[in-house]
Amino acid sequence: MASINRKKLYIVMVGLPARGKSTIANKLKENLAKNHIRTRIFNNGDLRRRLSPEDTSYPEFYDPRNRKGADLREKIAMINIHRAMNYLDRTGQVAILDATNVSAKRREKTAEILNTHPVLFIECINQDAEILKASIEQKVTLPEFRHLERESAIQSFKQRIRYYESIYSPVDKQRNAVRLDSLYNRILHEEISDDIPHYDLIRDLLVADTVKNLFLIRHGETYFNLENRIGGNSGLTENGKAQAKALARYFKNKKIPVIFTSRKKRTIQTAFPIMQEQEDCSIIPLKEFNEIDSGVCEAMSYREIRDVMPHVYAARKRNKYAYIYPDGEGYVSMKERVDRGIKKALYLSRNPQNIMIVGHRAVNRMILSHFLYRREEDVPYIYIPQDKFYHIVATQNKKLFQLRPYNRG
Ligand code: F6P
């Protein structure tokens, strides 16, 4: 290596399309900037769309045997590499090269050229078929697929991924590399040979669940709520609908690109008017956010449970967190799926300013306790009203939990 200035850093993203590379690159950039570290992203996809007047979204453009496509992609990669070098030569401190970089050949060449500062490779992996599917469905809403029907756009994007897979080789033999499960924010492999500037900060950012603004809402009042009945799939009462409209008014001037709900009618009905008041917003129902399954007690009221199944009532009272309803769930057994729902929501929403979840009483308790430590025995008693919502901020520089009313009269 030529003489290395250790104060500056190149980060090279690696991974197949739709593996969360850009989300991570953006998260790094924003947080490094908050720490006064001048950072810029050099994204090959953006450059391709800007530079090439013709359509490059069709899958064959990515076929490694297509010389014209391969040459153009190589050219774009080189332009960004040189722009990144220029940036660090001047005032920049961290340059992030955001591209697939899936072939060992491309990575070797990149490391060879970028020899004036250390290079850190961050490889993003996500093996979760369901998330990948949802992620692809979101990708095809991008302007570059606008000329295609949704199903053909999905097929086209999948074919693009297959072409990348055909030349993919996992990162190894690099001096500095992190392999990251980008859904679970888990480091799977870490090899650091050089003194990487800001590595403590970068590593921490890679593993942390961060949300800039999470609005955690409980669905509006339902017919079951009126009778204190649990579970089921009842709809909102008139009051519940009015609550949903009040929420919609309250959030009208905040940009909410996506609302995650459960698959139950009551959360979707609550989210619907909120979505309607937004300019560009979609609802994504996740089964992971369904309310606790109370098994044999579904649709019963607490009083009925006490009278008809006193053993259930007493056992749950003794240890509400650990108690599992016969044929159903308990807080303890919901934890894994709710955590998975949170990961899914964060992954699919791609680091936006605001994210919203409309959930249920028990589910929202679990979501809150994911970000705010509570002893397990206290989790099933966290206050989750229907006339207020939680505003949660969990970033490296700020933690906030605020219970706020939304109905300003
Ligand atoms: O009553 C509404 C509800 O969401 C039920 O569907 C659910 O079983 C219950 O709240 C969860 O709260 P708890 O664990 O306190 O019974």
Residue 390's pLDDT band, with cuts at 50, 70 and 90, is very high
Domain containing residue 278: CATH number: 3.40.50.1240
Do 359 and 374 share a structural domain? yes
Q: What is the pLDDT of residues 161-176, one digit of tens each?
A: 999 999 999 999 899 9
Total domains present in the chain: 2
- Tell whether 4 is covered by a domain: no
Alpha helices, DSSP H only, in 218-330?
223-226, 238-251, 265-277, 302-308, 310-318
Do 168 and 76 share a structural domain? yes
- Tell whether 3 is covered by a domain: no
pLDDT value of residue 3: 55
Any ligand 1 atom below 6 A from CB of 264: no
pLDDT value of residue 4: 57
| pLDDT-above-90 percentage for the chain | 90
pLDDT at 1 over 60: no
How far does residue 362's CA lie from ligand 1's centre (Å)?
6
Can you tell me the distance from the alpha carbon of 1 to that of 115, in angstroms, rounded to the nearest whole number? 6
Q: Domain of residue 55: give its range.
A: 9-207
How far does residue 230's CA lie from ligand 1's centre (Å)?
6
Do 80 and 34 share a structural domain? yes
Domain containing residue 54: CATH number: 3.40.50.300
How far does residue 166's CA lie from ligand 1's centre (Å)?
49
Do 248 and 160 share a structural domain? no
Q: What is the pLDDT of residues 280-293, one digit of tens each?
A: 999 999 999 999 99
| Overall average pLDDT of the 41-66 stretch | 90
Mean pLDDT of the residues in the chain: 95
Q: Is the distance from CB of 358 to CB of 264 less than 8 angstroms?
A: no
| Overall average pLDDT of the 381-402 stretch | 95
Cα 59 → chain centroid? 26
Per-residue DSSP letter, 321: T
Do 238 and 162 share a structural domain? no
- Tell whether 2 is covered by a domain: no
Any ligand 1 atom below 6 A from CB of 270: no
